[in-house]
Amino acid sequence: MPDGLLLSIDQGTTNTKALLVDRSGQLVFRCAQAVPLSVSPEGFVEQDAGALWESVRTVIQSSAAFAAATNRKIEAIAISNQRETSVAWHSKTQEPLANAVSWQCGRGAAVCDRLASHADDLRNRTGLPLAPLISASKWAWLLENNARVRDAAAAGALRLGTVDAWLMSKLTGGTAHATDLTNASRTGLLDLSTLAWDRDLAKLFGIPPAALPVLNPSSGFFGACRGIAEVEGVPILSAIGDSHAAMFGHGNYAAGAIKSTYGTGSSLMALTPRLAPDTLALARTIAWSIGNTTQFALEGNIAMTGSALQWVGEFLRLPEPAQAAAALAASVPDAAGVYFVPAMVGLGAPHWNAEARGAISGLGRAQSSAHLARAAIDAIAFQVADVFFAMEKAASMKFAELRADGGATRNQSLMQFQADILGRGVLRSKDEELSALGAAWLAGLALGWWKSLDELSALPRPQDRFTPQMSGDDRKRLYRGWSDAVRRVCNHSEARP
């Protein structure tokens, strides 16, 4: 019989994808199912948890059909998932008690405002800022505002979890209520020094500790599938947050490795030799855990990168805004002194100025819409550079190169400018499904397909290299202009009443 396969499920914000990976670590099948994202009349961003599960059922069926047609067996399941999205369900009925609160939803803002005096303590313990993004604020909101969630808690029947825990509960017929340390590290309830749920913080948010899932390493046994014919008895052998999974999929596991995922926003992650000291500029997190080994990391999130180019296209009323703006940007060699700071929803890492707003500067009679579009491309690279340099400072390390993944990396000009402004090489992954691939590799470790990280590092990883071509003087001049533009935006926000 041909070799077995790993089924990797990547449950994202807008799509659920499934990959089948063989013993060479490579993709042999891929399918996807769109999932809806809704905004309530109150402006709350949420998803039907039942629909998320049905999308997973759909991609499992398609994957199992391919495996059967090729006479191959699915030997294990891996899960990567959108992070911070928060689910509440009933332990006995396995039915959701409310819509899943999306990671994008800010409904927990009032909870965070009420707990503002505890912000420093929470950041010191969990590595995260006290913000509506963290799952704890979303669960607290549900407990305070949803009678079904409160009733289940009073009856001892409440289960809380991020999307990985919800899917595992459904896959195992309710026998597994577990999460991995990467997803737990994004909730605002995991103590990074003890790698355990912090009961004091749970009490602070009004969350019953018994409702939280069991904590597991990212690679290992979570449970076996029950009640799903296509995968009956198949073990779940990995779970990991999507950004962490992409980091793992790059295949560089040494401290000092750093990657940036380029999408609507961007997420940078850098591996550190140990848990880094508390820092205001960046989040501290867990990259992954294998056995008794936990790999720590620094993370920085940027709200608007790819969406900045989309905004420019919409502002200029271009058809297919993002694609048309990218084509317009490619018509000029540079931004001709134009800077665009896309702070329309504030600035994230490392500036953390929620009141900042977008600005365009450097306009003259000679500049055109093409230069504005090019400035939007450059702004992506400048923002990534801000986080990159902040990470070097926080980690007391110098990074040799940046690994890049995500849809926006297809833009050649962006990748070259990124290398130029960093003064470091940029390695662009050609794998478009790094999150699912990284989760699959973790399951393969647990299954014994690969014995070590060194074996995984040796697997083929197709990539392109971009090397700096800009002079040091030009690099400093351009970055100084960007820093001045950001400073003006921040100063203006402080001057507003």
- 423-466 confidence digits (pLDDT tens): 999 999 988 888 999 999 999 999 999 999 999 999 888 899 99
Using CA atoms, how far apart are residues 184 and 191, in angstroms rounded to an integer? Answer: 9
For residue 402, list its beta bridge partners.
Answer: 426
How far, in Å, CA of 418 to CA of 402, rounded? 9
pLDDT tier at 336 (50, 70, 90 boundaries)? very high
Q: Residue written as tokens 């929803």?
A: 345
- Three-class SS of 398-431: CCCEEEEECHHHHCHHHHHHHHHHHCCEEEEECC
| Sequence-distant (≥ 6) Cβ neighbours of residue 107 within 8 angstroms | 42, 44, 101, 132, 138, 141
pTM for the predicted model, two decimal places: 0.90
pLDDT of amino acid 41: 85
18, 7 Cβ separation under 8 angstroms: yes
417, two tokens: 């400018």
| Range list of H helices, 259-335 | 306-315, 321-329
Residue 265: its pLDDT value, please? 83
Per-residue model confidence (pLDDT) at position 99 = 96
Task: Give the residue carrying structure tokens 């009420």.
Answer: 114
Q: What is the pLDDT of residue 101?
A: 95
Alpha-carbon distance of 39 to 49, in angstroms, equals: 14
**Tokens in use for 199?**
């009961």
More confident residue, 376 or 302: 376
Averaged pLDDT of the chain: 93
CA distances from 223 to 80, 96, 152, 237, 450 (A): 16, 20, 24, 8, 21
The packing angle between helices 321-329 and 306-315, to 10°, is 90
> pLDDT tens across 233-254, in order?
999 999 999 999 999 999 999 9
Q: What is the pLDDT of residues 6-30, one digit of tens each?
A: 999 999 888 899 999 999 888 999 9
Side chain identity, residue 253: Y
Half-sphere exposure of 363 (CA within 13 A, CB side): 9
3-state secondary structure of 221: strand
Asked if 358 contacts 342 with a C-beta cutoff of 8 angstroms, the reply is yes
pLDDT value of position 46: 92
- Report the alpha-carbon distance of residue 158 to residue 253 in Å, rounded: 37
Query: 145: how many CB neighbours lie within 10 A of its CB?
Result: 11
Cα distance between residue 287 and residue 391, in whole Å: 15
Cα gap 440→446, rounded to integer Å: 10
| pLDDT higher than 50, residue 1 | no
Rounded to whole angstroms, how far apart are CA atoms 15 and 233?
26
HSE-up of residue 155 (Cα within 13 Å, Cβ side): 13
Q: What's the pLDDT band for 493 if we cut at 50, 70, 90?
A: low
Structural domains of the chain sorted by starting position, each given as residue range(s) with its CATH number in brackets = 5-243 (3.30.420.40), 250-497 (3.30.420.40)
Nearest to 441 by CA among 6, 111, 3: 6
Backbone angles phi, psi at 39, to 5 degrees: -120, 120
How far apart are the C-alpha atoms of 99 and 48, rounded to whole Å? 5
pLDDT digits 0-9 by tens, 61-72: 999 999 999 999
As a dihedral over the C-alpha atoms of residue 253, residue 298, residue 489, residue 344, rounded to 10 degrees, the angle is 80
Q: Answer whether residue 496 shows pLDDT above 60.
A: no
Mean pLDDT across the stretch 379-408?
A: 94
Whole-angstrom distance, CA of residue 104 vs CA of residue 71? 41
